[in-house]
Amino acid sequence: MSLKHTSENLQSRLILFVILIAGCVLRIYQLDTYSIFFDEKSTMVVSQGIVLEGANQKKVFSERKLSIPAFWKAPALPYPPANVVRSFTYQETFIPRAFTPAEFWSPKTMADYYEAMTRSDIGNSPFYYLLLHIWMEIFGLSDFSARLLSVVFSVLIIGLTYVFGKRFFSVRTGLIAAAIVAIEPFFIAYSHQARNYSLTFLLTLLATYFFLRIIENQNGKQKISLYIGYILAAGLSLLSHFLTISVLLAHAIYALFFLRTVKGWIRMAISAVLALTGVTWWMVFGGGQYTLYSLNYQADLYKRMADTMPYNNPFGIILPATPLNVFNKSLPIFTDLVFFTNGLTDALAGKRNILFSILTGILLIVWYRFKDRIAMPGWLKMSVPFILVLSGLAFYTNHRLQFCILSVSLFALSFIPDFHRQSDLKQRKKLWMLYSMALIPTLFLILMSFKNGHTFGLTQRYSGFSFPYVIILLSLLLQFYTRMKPEFRIIIFVFLAVQLYFVSTRLKEFYEDRSLKYGYFATPRAPNPYYKAAQKISALYQEGDTIMYPAPRFQILSEMDRTFLPYSVQDAQLTNLYFPKDAQYIQVMDTTQTSSILLKKAGRKTPVEIIKLKGLRYGSE
């Protein structure tokens, strides 16, 4: 079987336009309703060349050196060699001073940006931070504008998925895949984060597009623009997130099997070296110089947490990397990649239920393969699939419809070998790329989990590069199902429609900020308290007033966290983000309390409480 490269027409372009508009609406809806969380706080300050907790803002928050009192000294932590530690550790402390937004926003040097990325994001994502900085220079610094950049990248993923599917399979495949990407909760969730994920998903898909174009035409005249496109997309993806190396590893494995010319190997080797040049320079000379130290330290730290306090540590649940723990953590990553089984591992409970559901799926597969060898009336033969699946409604003790979906999903996915076998040789090569990109990023995470001895890195966002390829494969399967006999076609599409309903409920939970899976929070967050405080202060502040920030004790978790004060200045930093950059508001750290931003009005003894932050510092309490 060979899918024809049907050409675009006005109808297909209109459908794509509707898909893009729908995807854009789904991503912009509720975009800045809920406050930024801890990772986004880092994003906001790092993009402005500021270290979270102010390590490169000594002159803003303090004025003169003193010896460190004994009770201020943090315990020594195992980390890089002494010369590295010294470059990031202060052996003295400073007296706090009054400061203004204008001083907070004083011009930053390139060294400031390097230190901000090194300390607050282990030297990761310089390309993303560069784009975000330019973006907010144009559109302003706000939660909405910071997240809007991720929305732009996410909508571009929809369009690029269409281009990818159309170019290598068919227009219909591209449209179906684009429609699934548009409503996929994973992509919508990460478009709501001012983080690098949407950019990396886009760049790795673009790199794979150029790579397949090169492989596809390896015996013909190659366009230099394809190699340039690949070098830029692959190189910039590494400068957006280091884990995109798993995608380039998948490319290398694919080339090993399908790149047949010596000239092609030489050209791709040169391209790979050039793609790695940027990240190599960054790691040796730029802000990524201490990344490997940080990664090694984190691996050791998480291993200790997994071994000594897996359920009660500052980072969440971290389990030792036993085969069972790794299987339990990685299974949802694989199942959630597939729209058919998205969320089933979270919902399904009861070993008996699961075994019955899997057995039903196997019986469906067996029945489909051997039905023609069994003599029975036609009406009864057509009824068997429905009887098999619906019988579970009386057997399952919970989530009955979702257990039925699991059975049907196993049956539906069993046709991948059939589809592969019926494809022509040229298409099979492209299918192998889809399989590789679906599996290798997660297998890479599993390998690293065993290497590091803990399960902390086994999370969907670190292998999210796989989604577009799995979705394209599902788009091909959906077309394959339309050629099946009515009883099988009906049972597959009916239960997939039911699954679409359950996926929509997960999306609803995300919009309500009640999704641990996609939004990290079970209890909805309030709007950004720092933005609210800044707006209220700007309305009330008069000359002679003083803004007072809480000074909670600063918990040092690694050497990169070390700063020059014993308390946190994060509340002050995050509020100043939303002040005018030339404002002259007088501000101080209030070491007498830890929970409220206050405004001390001139001539009045009791300060005005602007906002009480206790319970609102997401990620820090």
Mean pLDDT across 301-330: 91
Residue 292 has pLDDT above 90, yes or no: no
Average pLDDT over the chain, rounded to an integer: 89
Q: Identify the pLDDT of residue 412.
A: 96
3-state helix, strand, coil in the chain (%, to 5): 65, 5, 30
Q: What is the pLDDT of residues 75-91, one digit of tens each?
A: 343 333 333 333 444 44
The residue ranges of every structural domain in the chain are 29-37+124-285, 51-66+89-106+526-612, 319-512
Q: What is the pLDDT of residues 197-221, one digit of tens each?
A: 999 999 999 999 999 999 988 766 7
pTM, rounded to two decimals: 0.91
Residue 66 has pLDDT above 70, yes or no: no
Cα distance between the two ends of the chain: 58
Q: Identify the pLDDT of residue 608.
A: 95
Q: Which residue has the higher pLDDT, 297 or 441?
A: 441
Cα 477–Cα 478–Cα 479 angle in degrees, nearest 5:
90
Q: Identify the pLDDT of residue 75.
A: 37
The rounded radius of gyration (Å) of the Cα atoms in the chain is 27
Lowest mean pLDDT among 48-52, 64-68, 85-89, 470-474: 85-89
Residue 16 has pLDDT above 90, yes or no: yes
Residue 71 has pLDDT above 80, yes or no: no
Q: What is the pLDDT of residues 220-249, one digit of tens each?
A: 677 899 999 999 999 999 999 999 999 999
Q: Which residue has the higher pLDDT, 212 or 1?
A: 212
Mean pLDDT across 9-14: 92
Lowest mean pLDDT among 45-49, 52-56, 226-230, 510-514: 52-56
Burial 484-516 (b: 16+ CB within 10 A, else e): beebbeebbbebbeebeebbeebbebbbebebe
DSSP state of 514: -
H/E stretch holding 507 reads: helix 486-511
Residue closest to 32 by CA, chosen among 614, 620, 511, 572: 511
Q: Identify the pLDDT of residue 619.
A: 40
Identify the top-confidence range among 2-11, 274-283, 609-618.
Answer: 274-283
Q: Which residue has the higher pLDDT, 557 or 182?
A: 182
Residue 450 has pLDDT above 90, yes or no: yes
H/E stretch holding 419 reads: helix 416-422
What single-letter amino acid sits at 390? L
Contact status, residue 407 vs residue 357, Cβ threshold 8 Å: yes
Q: 428-435 long-range CB contacts below 8 Å, 24 or more apart?
A: 429/215, 429/258, 430/168, 430/169, 430/212, 431/473, 432/254, 432/257, 432/258, 433/208, 433/212, 433/254, 433/469, 434/469, 434/470, 434/472, 434/473, 435/473
